[in-house]
């Protein structure tokens, strides 16, 4: 049974997330809601740095949300083989403490840069 309060939407292929810090986790957004997002990235090993912000941007135009407050709720290896040295991970973020400006930008992103509701 789905426990999420917010509808998740599939992001367009050119939507990316970059965790603040050393930008060691940058990847394509797979889904997004008003409460959080999930993205996939490639890495050699798990990074243990603490992160409190994420940047959301599109590679095809100038859309960019900088320093969106968040917390990492999951960061797991995926069962996808890429190479012996590189592993694919899926990172889930929950947005926290969003002001009205961030909420409005997230609504704009969802209304303009997603391709529909994500099927559970």
Within a 10 A sphere around the Cβ of 114, how many other Cβ atoms? 19
Residues in the chain, overall count: 120
In the chain, domain spans: 9-113
Please give the mean pLDDT across all residues of the chain: 87
d(CA 30, CA 10): 6
d(CA 24, CA 8): 25
Average pLDDT over every residue of 33-48: 83
Which CATH architecture is the domain 9-113 placed in? Beta Barrel (2.40)
Within a 10 A sphere around the Cβ of 48, how many other Cβ atoms? 6
Average pLDDT over every residue of 19-47: 85
pLDDT digits (tens, 9 = 90+) for 80-105: 666 677 788 899 999 999 999 999 99
Average pLDDT over every residue of 14-20: 93
Sign of CA dihedral 73, 84, 82, 23: positive
Residue 25 pLDDT class (50, 70, 90 cuts)? confident
């Amino acid at each position: 049974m789905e426990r999420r309060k917010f509808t998740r939407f599939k992001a367009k292929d050119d939507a990316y997330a970059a965790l603040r810090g050393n930008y060691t986790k940058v990847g394509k957004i797979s889904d997004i809601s008003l409460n959080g997002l999930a993205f996939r990235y490639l890495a050699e090993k798990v990074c243990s740095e603490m992160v409190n912000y994420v940047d959301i941007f599109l590679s095809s135009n100038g859309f960019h949300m900088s320093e969106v407050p968040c917390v990492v709720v999951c960061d797991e290896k995926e069962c996808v083989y890429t190479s012996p040295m590189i592993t694919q991970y899926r990172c889930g973020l929950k947005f926290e403490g969003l002001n009205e400006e961030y909420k409005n930008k997230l609504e704009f992103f969802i209304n303009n840069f997603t391709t529909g509701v994500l099927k559970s």
